[in-house]
Chain A
Amino acid sequence: MRYRNATAYRFLTPYLLIFAIFWVWPIISSFMISFQATRTVPWRFAPGFNWGRLIGDPAFFNALKNTLLILVIQVPVMIALAMVMAVLLNSPLLKARGLYRFAFFAPVVVGEVAYSAVFRLMFSLDFGIVNKLLNTVGLPKIDWFSNVTPAMALIMIAVTWRWAGYNAIILLAGMQSIPEDVYEAATLDRVSKLKQFFFITLPLLKPVIVFCAVLSIIGTMQLFTEPFLITERGGPGGGTETLGLLLYRQGFRSLNFGYASAVAYTMAGLAIAITLVQLWLTREAK
């Protein structure tokens, strides 16, 4: 047995080495870097330097506020939407189910740059189809890119568009694992379809919903692509800057790796904390 284990580990060694160098080490290293002043050459150990700056930095709190705002609004809306999509996908009345399933999943596979470009076009002030549509129903044009509130809304719309289908597919898989005869029993019990959804589907789907929520929270905490590409590096004026963007700006624009590492650890810590709270709130009653 011991011999077999040793052989197995020998086979795993190349992978473990790469894993250690490119995964474990950066994690440890960035943690140590976060305690160093990296704007001086050479770097020097100064524990309070970055972390001290963090707790008083308005740019950090702006990014934190934006990230949490997107999280609090976008994640629940998206999961609710994904649930509706999953219910529709699961309906026996639906024709061409495979096509919809593909269509809902497609945004995830589309290249980020391409999709961002299309969104910029669609929401452009004068040529965008969205403003044209608003106009036709008698609403005023919205300048999506120059005002903070529309820009935030745009980010949320884009992220939701991209990930709702993905979550819907996961929820659908969960729904399909609920046996049909449970619903038949409920039908015989004179329980309406709507009540069946709220009293059977939702409770039985809870673990899957929690799973989707956790994935989405982790994803949104790291949000980068959309504010970088669609609202042009967190514009207008930092109005859509997220923690991910702040990290990028500090690390790769200002080459201040110590501070970027501190931001990174804050993001990870928050994601873990929020997820734990979420798991605790939705824990199975004993």
Chain B
Amino acid sequence: MANVKLTNVVKRFGVFEVVHGANIDIKDGEFVVFVGPSGCGKSTLLRMIAGLEDISGGEIAIGGKVVNDVEPADRGIAMVFQSYALYPHMSVEQNLSFGLRMTGNPKADTERRVKRAAEILRISELMERRPKNLSGGQRQRVAIGRAIVREPQVFLFDEPLSNLDAELRVQMRVEISRLHKELGTTMVYVTHDQTEAMTLADRIVVLRAGHVEQIGRPLDLYDNPDNIFVAGFVGSPKMNFIKGHIVGRGAKEVVVELAGAEKTRITQPLTDAVPETGSKVIVGVRPEHFGIAGEGDADLAVAIDVVEHLGGTSFLYARTADGEDVVIQRDAAKVPDTSEVTVSIRKSYLFDEKGLRLR
């Protein structure tokens, strides 16, 4: 087992810089998830840790040893690919043992490792099959098995569940979580699905366009996002953003008025510098933080367009007077039957014009 430390890691493809100085410190035994929209550089970062991509700048250390110039096979990592990357012409058993056989590992040890991996992943009955005769979930297990057989110090997963259907994805997610508990090995996991990130991670690294936006435990990111991007990315459905401006300020607080709703004023305590009166801000409200009128910091009148009933909860798709779309989460029993409704804002986040959190 080992920790992984990225220091000012930069990646350039030709003149294109796609990772701009990432600093990430992954502790021994930790489950860290890289999450971000498509093309933000998650896979690139992971592949640099694996050694499949050169590091253009900075340093990557695994287990305290800088590995920039270490061969991929010598880094003590094992990787699970999005497309599984199984050897199509080999049986499951051969897929698992291929690496060890090719490198002259003692036969008895190879057999022991393969057997153990097969037991952990419950694929013992599939050992003679070819990958093309396996279901997606089974292939995924074999791919993970091949990683386990290497007995690595760090597991790397690149969107391992994205080719599975929704139900299987949930099932495999639980399975990977269980695997982490069982093995206790450091795991780095890439996904663009924030639900996967929230449910699996000890800590989440949120990436955008090659920048690390925030690193933190799932609930910290949810409760305390550093900026509008993280706020919008974490949580489902995503946070609503409503324009506003500052109409009053105290030493340690501001009063914000929402655009097009003079009566909706929110007073926010601030510990950092307090912005000028009149400056524009963005107010973030999570769908679940709207309440019954009068029970929150401020009330907001909205017009409802569509209501989605999911059973226990419902989502109200509505517009503010200023024409901004908001999503409101409600208990199914408390959905109003009028098209105009006033809701309260129970909790909100304040961001400046650049998207940075004001707090």
Contact = CB atoms under 8 A, between A and B. Distances in A.
Interface of A: 179, 181-182, 184-192, 195, 199-200, 203-204
Interface string B90-123: 0000000011101100000000000000000000
B65 to A, nearest CB: 18
Contact of A188 (B78, B83, B86, B88): B78
A184 B147 CA distance: 13
B85 A181 contact: yes
29 contacts: A179-B83, A179-B85, A184-B52, A184-B85, A185-B79, A185-B81, A185-B85, A186-B98, A187-B72, A187-B73, A188-B50, A188-B51, A188-B52, A188-B72, A188-B77, A188-B78, A188-B150, A189-B73, A189-B98, A189-B100, A189-B102, A189-B103, A189-B146, A190-B73, A190-B102, A191-B99, A199-B98, A200-B87, A204-B88
B354 interface: no
Contacts of B86: 182, 185
Contacts of B146: 185, 189
Nearest to B105: A190
Interface residues of B, number: 23
Majority-rule SS of A interface residues = helix
Contacts of A200: 87, 89
A203 B98 CA distance: 14
B90 to A, nearest CB: 8
Given A188-B79, A191-B103, 4 more contacts: A184-B52, A190-B73, A190-B99, A191-B102
Nearest to A181: B85
Contacts, number: 61
Interface of B: 50-52, 72-74, 77-79, 81, 83, 85-89, 98-100, 102-103, 146, 150
Contacts of B87: 182, 185-186, 200
A189 to B, nearest CB: 3
A161 B79 CA distance: 43
Contacts of B102: 189-192, 195, 199
Most buried by B among A182, A188, A191, A204: A188
Contacts of B78: 188
Nearest to B73: A190
Contact of B83 (A181, A186, A199, A203): A181
A189 B99 contact: yes
B129 to A, nearest CB: 13
A230 to B, nearest CB: 41
A190 B103 contact: yes
A187 B81 CA distance: 13
B349 to A, nearest CB: 40
B85 A204 contact: no
Nearest to A284: B89
Closest 5 CB pairs of A and B: A189-B99, A190-B73, A181-B85, A185-B85, A191-B102
Contacts of B100: 189
